[in-house]
A and B are shown apart, each in its own frame.
Chain A
Amino acid sequence: MSVVARLDEAKAARRGTPLIAFNGTTLRLGGKTIIEQLDLEVRPGEFVCIVGASGCGKTTALRLAAGLYRPSEGAVTFNGEPMTEPRREVAVVFQDYGKALLPWRTAAGNISLALEASRVPSRERNGRIDALLRKVGLPGHADKYPTEMSGGMQQRLQIARCLAQEPTTLLMDEPFGALDAMTRQGLQDEVLSLTQASRTTVIFVTHDLDEAIYLGDRVIGLLPHPGRIGIEIDVNLPRPRDQLATREHPEFLRLRRQLFDFIKATEH
């Protein structure tokens, strides 16, 4: 390694090199500006939640981070490289699990799709599929079709398929928006334990402010028309988080008030 490179690395470490960075990112679709001049840096291992009123461009920001959209201006970088197309180390969990899963494949088959994409040899696949199904709490459901599973189970399956990519980064688009409250809380804790254990970086889009504070290290509130950052809150709540203790924490309540006030203000 050259001296210059080593110096650069040292400098980067001091700054805390972002894993994902939006630099003056603007996205226009069909003559409409959806996102304008977005600047956001996500550090490795960080859990960042994005909230905002509907139509504020939260999902669009996530798609930019995933490489599913290319910015009209500015850049989105991953590890310093421009994110012009999806990468294998970045996995996307879509909200509509019912549409994102292949209805003609079993649970095992759906996970297998990610392994086939990564060209994992077929004799290794079964073992890895079993391990992934256990990891997301679906052991023994390998031969079920998505239509035979509940919403919560389908979303677990989609998460398992994403984990099969062995991603360093998970991008989650309102993943629990369509689930009932109990299922949602269970999955929140599972996502936390899965991602904290492996130091996975997460960008999590949600319209549920409590969920954002409960999960995140940082919460970004977007302003609508066009989408831009309106508020940025560091969440200094102790980890591991607990559904009762964390949600009763005075700091949680303070942040919750702050975020609600922000969202209310954007709606006028």
Chain B
Amino acid sequence: MSRVMMRRKGKRKPPKPSLKAVWRTHIDDHPIGLAWSPDGKKLAVAGVSGPITLFNGADGAVQHKLPGHTFGTMAISWHKSSRLLASVGQDGKVRLWDTRTGSQTSEMAGGASWVERVAFSPAGDWLVSAAGRKLRLWDTTGALSCEYPDANSTITDIKWRHDGKRFAVTAYNGVVLYGPTRAEPLRRFEWQGSSLTLEWSPDGKHIATGDQDSTVHFWLVESGQDLQMWGYETKVLELAWSFNSRYLATGGGTQAVIWDCSGKGPENTKPVMLEGHRDLIKHLKFQRRGMLLASGGKDGLLAIWKVEKKKTVMLADSVFKNPIAGLAWSPDDRRIAVSDESGTLSIAAVQRT
């Protein structure tokens, strides 16, 4: 068991070379989903009230405004082709959109009134959705491919392993692994508690979960052994792995906490604490192939950190008027999309240093 020693309200370091704005716009809603198309040409932004706006990634021109879901959209996921976008929401539906035409291609029933999670597999052959305890697998035409047995409790997150052969689901009581070829669960990592979010390490060896009781759980997939990291200020909803599977960045407080998972793992090690935010961190995202970590806070601060073994430093920052509502690195890692709760959407280029 490893313990985080939290210190609140650290001093802000002087700002480093700032981010260079590429374009900036506004949507009239609280953005809840922010996702680049895999080719980096489009940016999809879902608003809490329902509509999904498709922007041209290069200049911010609105390409389409999809109606989304009555009562609210909950999540979006891009297909590998960058043409299909899946969305789920409070109308109980899973919807597939052709983003070139802006038209809906399929509408499926998620199985309960709130469909909360959706994820295309990395290879693009499957789509998995979760609504309450219902877990369903679809193909890209919207045909139901598999209905899994009901989960014990509402599913809080779904993530595909990077090879696309497995996906992991969290709910109260731990993590369950499934595959696209059979309905039975393949593996269970049980734990008496409520996990809210999960992330696979890119090498597939670890699964980290952020939990309601202010802890982070860390599973070694092969052995099934688990570690618990505690001492967080609040529930942990922010998790990010570095591309080399070495570092796990976690939120759950005003300081991002970075665990080094190399060697014997994070057990009994002292994590690196990133000081800079003045309020809770709400989003953490590592680059896809680089060591830059972006953090977005309730204080409106966007900070870019360079994570290194010797010393992690804040490279750049930018302050928004409202709490950060979403972060997304472009597929080429050169730009970052940031939204705040008022609907401001800003795309900035990160200068190489």
Instruction: Decide if A and B are genuine partners.
Output: no
